[in-house]
Amino acid sequence: MALSYKTHTTRFPELGTAPIPIKPCIDPAVFDAEREAVFRRCWLNVGRVELIPEPGEYFVRDIEMCHTSVLVVRGRDNVIRAFHNMCSHRANQVVWQRRGKCRVSFVCPFHGWAFDTRGKLISMTDERNFFNLDKQDLGLTEIQTDVWKGFIFIRINPQDDQSLEDYLGPVATTLKDYPFDELSKREWYEVDEKANWKVLLDAQLEGWHVPFLHKDSLAKSTAATGMLLRHSILEALGPHGLLGTEPPPVFNPTPLGKVSLKYGIGAYDAFAFKEPRWTDAKKYNLKGAMNLYFIFPNVIMGLMRDSYWMYNVWPVAVDRTIWEIGINTVPARNAGELFCQEYNKVGLRDTLMEDTATHEKVQQVLKSGAKEYFHFQDEELALRNFHHTVDACLEAMQKG
């Protein structure tokens, strides 16, 4: 592919071309402001519906960035709701198990108050010994919840009545037929990183580091080592983003990779192929070999041939972030496919270890004061849009 220059950023003049300040990645005051302006106000993906297929089933997700623990439950009426996992009596976390099924009610382990799957307080122990309390007012505090294509999202402190689908905008429209539910096999890694959440996401929102940082892993099978990469698609979709990648011009898998490819296609090598396996790939609106969607503020979906990667990025402190990495694919039908999937899982792990190490290397020196700015080029448009969106959220909060 002939190289093009500066073709993307010019289409988004509102983003400018200025350097991006480092301070928001090291300043605890900015991190605290992001808590309210971004994480408490935006839709956040907390899981998928397959985690709780039956009425009464639940899971708990702690969101340290929002100072809360969230109980997500499928009610007896089949509606999925989320609540702060916090008892109305003296604030104990009502549910301690990470996942399970509520048989009768959620009973607080501290003094035995019981809540139903709609969050209603159904019994108080020693009720007559309390003073002027109305049970009606003492249910669990509900959190706004919505589901898009099996992904459960919550919004802790909504500032408007925008629906989840409106929030997702072009992401929802483009992926409306994507078969997420068929890619039901989920493996995952979790990395606890000493890095700011934006440093982590920045590195996953551009591909031109691949021939350099991943020259001994991901890029090894291609002739791309040391080459300059160009995304075939690079879009700011409101607060979100899209990156499209074409297959590399040359693909020579390692001997083990060849064995893996003989039996199936897993996520790791999938990007090497132009057409997804699905004959109706057109219907799924996939273009090229890999389409990577960023859903602001903390989700990346890498959609490929027969599989997708799902990253959920959870800030914990200004210099600490949990990175959840999901690998979703079709369940293996035989030992060969299983081997292929395992090969790809390990390959992705090795590649992402290179990323993780780099995020931490970056963070470790950010406070040195030696540099005040990051410099983004045209291929780093998605990062630029990301930083601008965070800034816009902070400004909106300040304006009140």
- Interior angle at CA 135, CA 133 and CA 139, nearest 5: 120
- Partner whose binding site includes residue 76, from Fe ion, ligand FES, none (CB under 5 to 8 Å by kind): none
Q: Residue length, the chain?
A: 400
Q: What is the DSSP letter of 331?
A: P
Interacting residue with ligand FES among 11, 67, 76, 90 (CB under 6 A): 90
Taking CB atoms, the residue at the shortest distance from Fe ion is 355
Cβ closest to Fe ion, residue 37 vs residue 362 = 362
Nearby residues of 161 by Cβ (< 8 Å), 6 or more positions away: none
For ligand FES, the closer of residues 114 and 259 by Cβ is 114
Residues of the chain by 3-state class (helix, strand, coil), percent to 5: 30, 25, 40
Q: Which does 90 bind (CB under 5 to 8 A by kind): ligand FES, Fe ion, none?
A: ligand FES
Cα–Cα dist 380/220, whole Å: 23
Dihedral sign, CA of 15, 21, 24, 30? negative
User: In this structure, are strands 57-63 and 106-107 parallel, antiparallel, or unpaired?
Assistant: unpaired
Give the HSE-up count for residue 17: Cα atoms under 13 Å, Cβ half-sphere: 10
Task: List, as one string, the DSSP characters of 144-191.
Answer: EEEEETTEEEEESS-SS---HHHHHTHHHHHTTT--GGG--EEEEEEE
Rule CB under 6 A: say whether 113 interacts with ligand FES: yes
Q: Is 215 exposed, middle or buried (0-12, 13-18, 19+ CB in 10 A)?
A: middle
CB of 125 to ligand FES, least distance (A): 7
What number of chain residues touch ligand FES (CB under 6 A)? 9
User: Where does this chain touch ligand FES (CB under 6 A) — which range of 109-117, 178-186, 324-332, 361-369?
Assistant: 109-117
The residue among 106 and 323 lying less far from ligand FES, judged by its C-beta, is: 106
> CB atoms < 10 A from the CB of 370, how many?
8
Query: Residue 110 interacts with ligand FES (CB under 6 A)?
Result: yes
Residue 274 binds: one of ligand FES, Fe ion, none (C-beta under 5 to 8 A by kind) = none
The smaller minimum CB distance to Fe ion, of residues 95 and 382, is found at 382
Which of 12, 21, 57, 92 lies at the binding interface for ligand FES (CB under 6 A)? 92
Shorter beta-carbon distance to ligand FES: residue 119 or 266: 119
Distant-in-sequence, close-in-space partners of 89: CB < 8 Å, separation ≥ 6? 108, 110, 111, 113, 124, 138
Residue 108 interacting partner from ligand FES, Fe ion, none (CB closer than 5 to 8 Å by kind): ligand FES
Quick one: 125 or 285, whose CB is closer to ligand FES? 125
Site residues (vs Fe ion, CB under 5 A)? 355
Instruction: Tell me: does residue 48 bind ligand FES (CB under 6 A).
Output: no
Q: How far is the CB of 109 from ligand FES (least distance, A)?
A: 8
Rg (CA), the chain: 23
**Which residue in the set 11, 23, 76, 111 belongs to the binding site for ligand FES (CB under 6 A)?**
111
Contact of residue 355 among Fe ion, ligand FES, none (CB under 5-8 Å per partner type): Fe ion
- Which residues 6+ apart lie within 8 Å of 202 measured at CB? 374, 380, 383, 386
Site for ligand FES contains 108 (CB under 6 A): yes
Nearer to ligand FES, 113 or 197 (CB): 113
- CA 128 to each of CA 115, 119, 122: distance values in angstroms, whole numbers, following the listed order: 18, 22, 15
**89 touches ligand FES by CB under 6 A:** yes
Which CB atom, from 90 or from 101, has the smaller least distance to ligand FES?
90
Paired strand residues for 291: 244, 303
Residue 204 CB, nearest approach to Fe ion (Å): 7
Query: Which C-beta is closer to ligand FES: that of 127 or that of 216?
Result: 127
Minimum CB distance to ligand FES, residue 55 (Å):
24
Q: What minimum distance in Å lies between the beta carbon of 154 and ligand FES? A: 22
Chain residues in the site for ligand FES (CB under 6 A): 87, 89-90, 92, 108, 110-113
